[in-house]
Structures are given as C-alpha cells and as structure tokens.
Amino acid sequence: MIRKQLGFSMVELMVAMVIQFILLAGMVYVYSNSRVMFTVNEQLSRVQENGRYLTDVLLHDIRMAGYSGCRSIDEVVPNIIANRPPIFASLTDGITVFENGAGWDNPTALTRVAGSDVITLQSAQGSGVSLRANMITDTATIRMIWNPDRLAANDLILISDCSHADLFRALAIKHGTIIVHNNIANTGNQLSKAYAKDAQLMPFDAHTYFIATGANAEPGLYQYSFNSDTATLLAEGVENMQLLLAEDTSGDQAPDVYVNATAVMDWAAVIGVRVGLLMRSANNVATEARAFTFNGANANTGNDTRVRKAFWSYAAMRNRIN
C-alpha cells in the first residue's frame, strides 16, 4: 500500500514565517536597545570618571594655594631674583580668578572657550628637602641632602627658613644635589641671606586652568604650568567651568557669601572656592535631545544628543584658615 507524503500547506508556511519574522524583529529590537543602553552607560561612565579626576586635581591645587613651606606666601614675601618671574600682581596672590576669562592673557596658542572662568593657583610643590650644609655666603651653591622632587635646570625654586624666602631659577643641578644659581638664570646671584641647614628647598609653580578647544575641536580642561611654559590637556569633554569664591566677611574663618570674581570685596578674605564643571560625552548617544541646566542656564544650546553631567564641589584654602 502506497502512503502519501504529507507536507505543510501554504497557509501553515505563511503562519510560520510570520511568527519567525515577529521573533526576529523582537530580537533585533532588544539587541538594538541593549546596544544603545550599553553605549550610553559607557559614555556616562567616561564622563563621571573624567569629572571626578578633574575635580580632584582642581581641589588639590586650591587647597595648596599660597603654600610656601612652613608659612604661607602672605606671611613671608619672597625675594624674587628669578628670570621670567610670575607675571601676576604679586607673588602673594596665591589665587587669581578671571571671570569669564576677562583680563586673562592667554600664553598658549589654544583657543579658549568663551563664557568659562579661568583660575590661576600658585604655591610651592613637592615634599621639600633640607640643605646638606650651611651656605658659606649668600651667593654660594646650595647643597641638598637629596633630590626627591627631581629639581632640574631652569626650574623655579623656593628656599625658605620661615623668616626669609627667596625665589630663583636653577642654572644647573650638579651631581644631582648641588644647585647652581647665578645671573644667567636670574637677575643676580645674591639671595637675601646665606641659609642654614634648617632651610627648605621646594619647587615652585603656578597652574592656570582654562577650557579650550583642541585640534579635534573638542573642548577640554587644560593646565598651564608657568614653570615649564607648557599647557597640558587634562581631559576632553569639558564644556564650562564656573567658580564661586567663598568670602569670610565676619572673620570667623567660615564662608559667609559665595560670589563670582567681579563681586569679591576683599581678596584677602577669600578662604575657599566652589568649582562647577560641565562635562559632556564624546558622541551623540542619547535617543533624543534634552535641555540641561548648568549655572542657571540651558547648556544644550545646540540641541544635540550628548550625555551631560554637572560636578559641583568645594575646597578650602588651607593656608588662609588656622
């Protein structure tokens, strides 16, 4: 007896194809959404990582502003003999803020982003080191115990014994621990005194933080070093930086008002800085454009789909608080 081979009917095949199509469409939709969410989370993680890093760098320099070893720069004004000395109003200005960048002379070839504040913070850096022996005269070479801060030729160096201080440039570092200073790297080779072994040697620098666009037209936060005369990109994706100065108007060493740089009544009463950074993702990854408020205004004026996050933090200037 011959059996008939039975197959699927056309209707059954069409139903099966429709079901397969629905399942496939569902898988594509789930995959597409998962990919979008992965990209958004990845970009947001990068934004958060860069924001935390930049905040840490800025707050560290703010806390150390005006530090000069055993006393603040305000209490012991250094004798400056260094060539190309700090160009600010005076060395006692541990902090200088330029509201929206007004009045700041850009020493770099970078294009500063308009509407963002600029801050300069200067202080002694590093761990410091004592002298190996008393200086014979105020023009003698300076012998260090060792060189933990890797001081090199042409570095700005602060020497202080808590009653006197000098800021000079090293002409050379011989044998790694002997500092030569003369009128080639300085206006003269005479310090204010012949320092004894209890004096401390520390590298000195001023860091200026500003937002500029790089070669790829992406805005980033740069740190300009006065000592090396170079600008270093700290991180990209920084759209804006706003700074509010904490002013102690009552003398109790606590902030009474937070004002921008143009509203400061007494810079000597500024004891801290509130820093605001507006970060954005490198790419357009969100599903739709959204307004984002920063410092009281919409930051997404171009209606793009980048992910944005604001970082606000505060640091007290330790050398202005007992």
In a domain? residue 37: no
Neighbours of 156 (CB within 10 A): 27
In a domain? residue 149: yes
Residue 180, C-beta contacts closer than 8 angstroms, at least 6 positions apart: 141, 170, 171, 172, 173, 174
Of the candidate ranges 64-78, 90-104, 146-160, 198-212, the one whose mean pLDDT is the lowest = 64-78
pLDDT of 225 strictly over 50: yes
d(C-alpha 208, C-alpha 210), whole Å: 7
At residue 218 the predicted structure's pLDDT band, cuts being 50, 70 and 90, is: very high
Of the candidate ranges 71-75, 158-162, 176-180, 297-301, the one whose mean pLDDT is the lowest = 71-75
In a domain? residue 60: yes
Q: Are 223 and 209 in contact (CB under 8 A)?
A: yes
Model confidence over 129-168: pLDDT tens digits? 999 999 999 999 999 999 999 999 999 999 999 889 999 9
Residue 93 domain boundaries: 44-320
Of the candidate ranges 70-79, 188-197, 203-212, 250-259, the one whose mean pLDDT is the lowest = 70-79
Radius of gyration over every alpha carbon of the chain, rounded to an integer in angstroms:
29
At residue 202 the predicted structure's pLDDT band, cuts being 50, 70 and 90, is: very high
In a domain? residue 30: no
In a domain? residue 123: yes
Residue 27 or 118, more confident: 118
In a domain? residue 26: no
* Token pair of 81 as six digits: 């003999």
Model confidence over 87-139: pLDDT tens digits? 554 555 789 999 999 999 999 999 999 999 999 999 888 888 999 999 999 99
11, amino acid identity: V
d(C-alpha 111, C-alpha 102), whole Å: 14
Model confidence over 281-319: pLDDT tens digits? 988 887 788 899 999 999 999 999 898 999 999 999 988
Percent share of the chain, pLDDT over 70: 90
DSSP-assigned beta bridge partners for residue 316: 272
In a domain? residue 1: no
Specify the pLDDT at position 203.
94
In a domain? residue 21: no
Question: First CA to last CA across the chain, in angstroms?
Answer: 109
pLDDT of 63 strictly over 80: yes
Average of per-residue pLDDT values in the chain = 88
Q: Are 149 and 129 in contact (CB under 8 A)?
A: yes
Model confidence over 256-274: pLDDT tens digits? 999 999 999 998 899 999 9
d(C-alpha 188, C-alpha 268), whole Å: 31
Specify the pLDDT at position 89.
47
DSSP-assigned beta bridge partners for residue 127: none
DSSP of 247-308, one letter per residue?
A: E-SSSSSS--EEE-GGG-S-GGGEEEEEEEEEEE-SS--SSS----EETTEES-TT-----E
Residue 182 or 15, more confident: 182
Of the candidate ranges 67-71, 99-103, 155-159, 179-183, the one whose mean pLDDT is the lowest = 67-71
At residue 53 the predicted structure's pLDDT band, cuts being 50, 70 and 90, is: very high
How many domains are contained in the chain? Answer: 1
